[in-house]
Amino acid sequence: MSKHRPEANEDGFQRRRFLIVASRYGFTTAVLAATGGFLWSEADLARAADNEEAKEKAAKHVMIFATEYKADDYKTYPIMQTQFKDNLEALSGNAVYVKLFPSGQLGIGSALAQKVQAGTIQGGSVSLSNFSPFAPIVDVINIPFWCGENQRFANLVTSTVWNGEITPKVTGKGYKPMFYFTVDPRTIAARKGLGRQIKTPDDMRGLKMRVPSSRLLQQFYRLTGANPTVVAWGETPSALKQGVADALDPSVGALYTFGFIDILESITLVDSVPDAQMFAANYGWFQALPKDLQMKFEEASEKTQGESFAQIPIARKASMDALGKAGVKFYKPTAAEHKRWVDAAGEQRPEWNDIKKELAGSTDTFDKLKTAANTKGKFTVNDYQG
């Protein structure tokens, strides 16, 4: 059989083929085949399956790692699950075998975070919004306009201040942070038929803004004059189509990857809050690894973090190109317009003081985190300039 998939109904063929391969050869082999381009080659699949089986048998430790994302989503959404597998196995000399379960096979959102915490699985990728109920301190990034840009977010999460103030609180909840990454900043994405291009907070007045159950994001949009409307993620497309919600705020990559291409009229790039994720391991499992493998684990995590940051502009361009071809318009506020957003809802407003104290412990600690976000770290990360 040719390794090239059929041209007609490609997405349907790809999905059905993936499921067939997964049932026959295992999910990890199917993931590797999908990302490696040999999903339709029986000979390559057999070799890959044999190789994976041999590696798993030879490994001293097996890490079940789960995400809610498809194997090839990294092309438009920089989640590097297969890259992490490759990095850890190579750096550990195959002493650790990573068994991937993508596409929500082992759960999504907070359910997946809970499984990592409980040690039911050894690791997973979880958005910080879904992670915050288990370690509320990380929700500090959802205070707007202080670490929304990719570079500032990267500076922050790789800083000694973050590692000293935030990491102990996360590990205290049973998680080992592997690394943090961002897809891009959150946006203001308006539904088709709204007929209003959003340039400043004045354009937000009365807007029904779909939000997750995040009190910080709800406060943010109230400060802009919008009406935040909590809608479950799975119900969001129908809410937009029916006018129950007028707009939503994921990053450009998330909007494309999760299928909003035919629902949106325009996307405003406000650089407010990072659309961020964390790769996390169960802390007890990590602590039980020999010290030399812990060091290799840290090395593999940092390498994958760098690869994720490097993928951001590639994924963004692919997403913007596809959305643009579908007629979605993009708007980047001018410097003066951006200042109006910051003045209306930024972290400097007194409405955020109690939340800063609650999450960071004090406004002084928050100020230290803010300084870290503004201090160049080890990574150089692309920010969209328009």
Same domain (yes/no): 231, 269: yes
Same domain (yes/no): 123, 249: no
Same domain (yes/no): 242, 202: yes
Domain count, the chain: 2
The pLDDT value recorded for residue 11 is 65
Take residue 54 and report the two structure tokens written for it.
Answer: 């041999």
Q: Is residue 325 part of a domain?
A: yes
Q: Is residue 378 part of a domain?
A: no
> Is 135 or 302 the better-scoring residue by pLDDT?
302
Q: Is residue 230 part of a domain?
A: yes
Instruction: Tell me if 93 sits within 8 A of 311, measured CB to CB.
Output: no
The domain in which residue 197 lies consists of 188-273+319-373
Q: Is residue 386 part of a domain?
A: no
Take residue 44 and report the two structure tokens written for it.
Answer: 């390559």
Same domain (yes/no): 177, 269: no
> Is 273 or 50 the better-scoring residue by pLDDT?
273
Same domain (yes/no): 172, 129: yes
Radius of gyration of the chain (CA): 21
Q: What is d(CA 108, CA 233) in angstroms, rounded to the nearest whole number? A: 11
Over 70: is that where the pLDDT of 9 sits?
no
Residue 182 Cα to chain centre, angstroms: 6
> Is 207 or 233 the better-scoring residue by pLDDT?
207
Parallel, antiparallel or unpaired: strands 123-127 and 274-282: antiparallel
Same domain (yes/no): 126, 268: no
Over 60: is that where the pLDDT of 7 sits?
no
Question: Would you state the torsion angle of the CA atoms of residues 37, 43, 44, 50, taken in this order, to the nearest 10 degrees?
Answer: 150
Same domain (yes/no): 236, 288: no
pLDDT band at 49 (very low <50, low <70, confident <90, very high): confident
Q: What is the pLDDT of residues 167-181, one digit of tens each?
A: 999 999 999 999 999
Same domain (yes/no): 49, 38: yes
Q: Is residue 97 part of a domain?
A: yes
Same domain (yes/no): 100, 163: yes
| Mean pLDDT, residues 15-25 | 85
Q: Is residue 141 part of a domain?
A: no
Q: What is d(CA 136, CA 125) in angstroms, rounded to the nearest whole number? A: 17
Over 60: is that where the pLDDT of 74 sits?
yes
pLDDT band at 261 (very low <50, low <70, confident <90, very high): very high
| Mean pLDDT, residues 90-109 | 93
User: Which CATH number fits the domain that encloses residue 258?
Assistant: 3.40.190.170
Same domain (yes/no): 57, 29: yes
Same domain (yes/no): 256, 359: yes
10 Å Cβ neighbour count for 334? 12
Same domain (yes/no): 212, 300: no
Instruction: Tell me if 61 sits within 8 A of 96, measured CB to CB.
Output: yes
Take residue 183 and report the two structure tokens written for it.
Answer: 């897809």
Over 90: is that where the pLDDT of 26 sits?
no
The number of CA neighbours under 13 Å toward the Cβ of 109 is: 8
